[in-house]
Amino acid sequence: MVAAACLACGVTTAAAAAEPTNQLRQQAFTAAAKEFGVPTSVLLGVSYLESRWDTNAGTPSTSAGYGPMHLTDVRTANSGGSHHDQGKEDPRGDEARQILLPKAGAPVQPVPQLQTVDAAAALTGVDKAVLRSDATQNIRGGAALLAKYQRDLGVTSANPADWYGAVAKYGSAADTKTAAAFADEVFKTISSGADRVTDDGQHIKLAATAVKPNTAQLGKLGLRAANADGTECPADLGCEWIPAPYQQLPNNDYGNHDLSNRPDNQQINYIIIHDTEGYWDGVLKLVQDPTYVSWNYSLRSSDGHVAQHVLAKDVAWHAGNWYVNAKSIGLEHEGFAAQGTWYTEAMYRSSAKLVRYLAAKYRIPLDRAHILGHDNVPGTIPSTVQGMHWDPGPYWDWAHYFDLLGAPFFGLPGYNTGLVTIKPDFASNQPAFTGCSQAGQPCPLRGSSSVILHTEPRADAPLLKDIGLHPDGSATTMGVSDHGSRVESGQRYAVAGVMGDWTAIWYLGQKGWFYNPRNHPTALGTLGLVVTPKRGKDTVPVYGRAYPEASAYPAGIPAQAVTPLQYTFSAGEKYSLGEKLTSEYYYAVTFDQATHAVVRGQTQYYQIQFGHRVMFVNADDVDVQPAFVPYGTGTLGDGRHW
**SS (HEC) of 570-582:** ECCCCEEEEEEEE
Model confidence at 145, pLDDT cuts 50, 70, 90, reads very high
* Residues 270, 578: Cα–Cα separation, whole Å: 11
Cβ partners under 8 Å of residue 491, min gap 6 = 368, 376, 421, 422, 576, 609
Between vectors from CA 529 to CA 525 and to CA 530, what angle results, nearest 5°?
A: 95
pLDDT reported for residue 102: 60
* Residues 591, 293: Cα–Cα separation, whole Å: 15
pLDDT reported for residue 104: 55
For the whole prediction, is pTM greater than 0.85? yes
Between vectors from CA 79 to CA 298 and to CA 200, what angle results, nearest 5°?
A: 80
Model confidence at 357, pLDDT cuts 50, 70, 90, reads very high
Write the pLDDT tens digit of every residue in 322-335: 999 999 999 999 98
Range 76-113 burial, b when 16+ CB lie within 10 A, else e: ebbebbbbbbbeebbbbbbbeeeebebeebeebeeeeb
Residues of the chain with pLDDT > 70, as a percent, come to: 90
Instruction: Please report the sign of the dihedral spanned by the C-alpha atoms of residue 132, residue 134, residue 137, residue 143.
Output: positive
Q: What is the mean pLDDT of residues 10-38?
A: 78
User: In the chain, what are the domains?
Assistant: 2-73+115-221 (1.10.530), 409-527 (no CATH), 532-626 (no CATH)
Cβ neighbour number for residue 537 with a 10 Å cutoff: 14
Model confidence at 407, pLDDT cuts 50, 70, 90, reads very high
Model confidence at 1, pLDDT cuts 50, 70, 90, reads very low
Q: What is the mean pLDDT of residues 341-358?
A: 95
pLDDT reported for residue 635: 37
DSSP 8-state secondary structure symbol assigned to residue 38: -
The bridge status of strand 297-299 relative to strand 328-333 is: parallel
State yes or no: pLDDT of 89 exceeds 80. Answer: no
The mean pLDDT of the chain is 90
Q: What is the mean pLDDT of residues 147-160?
A: 96
pLDDT reported for residue 389: 93
DSSP 8-state secondary structure symbol assigned to residue 398: H
Model confidence at 13, pLDDT cuts 50, 70, 90, reads very low
Cβ partners under 8 Å of residue 212, min gap 6 = 161
Instruction: Please report the sign of the dihedral spanned by the C-alpha atoms of residue 206, residue 63, residue 365, residue 263.
Output: positive
State yes or no: pLDDT of 567 exceeds 80. Answer: yes
Write the pLDDT tens digit of every residue in 31-46: 999 999 999 999 999 9
Write the pLDDT tens digit of every residue in 216-231: 999 999 999 888 888 9
pLDDT reported for residue 19: 64
**Contact assessment for residue 352 and residue 358, using Cβ atoms and an 8 Å cutoff:** no
Write the pLDDT tens digit of every residue in 503-542: 999 999 999 999 999 889 999 999 999 999 999 999 999 9
pLDDT reported for residue 338: 73
Upstream peptide bond of 256 is cis (omega within 30 degrees of 0): yes
CA atoms within 13 A on the CB side of 1: 9
* Residues 351, 333: Cα–Cα separation, whole Å: 8
Write the pLDDT tens digit of every residue in 360-373: 999 999 999 999 99
Cβ neighbour number for residue 133 with a 10 Å cutoff: 14
State yes or no: pLDDT of 12 exceeds 70. Answer: no
Q: What is the mean pLDDT of residues 131-143?
A: 98
State yes or no: pLDDT of 562 exceeds 60. Answer: yes
Q: What is the mean pLDDT of residues 6-18?
A: 41
Q: What is the mean pLDDT of residues 410-417?
A: 74
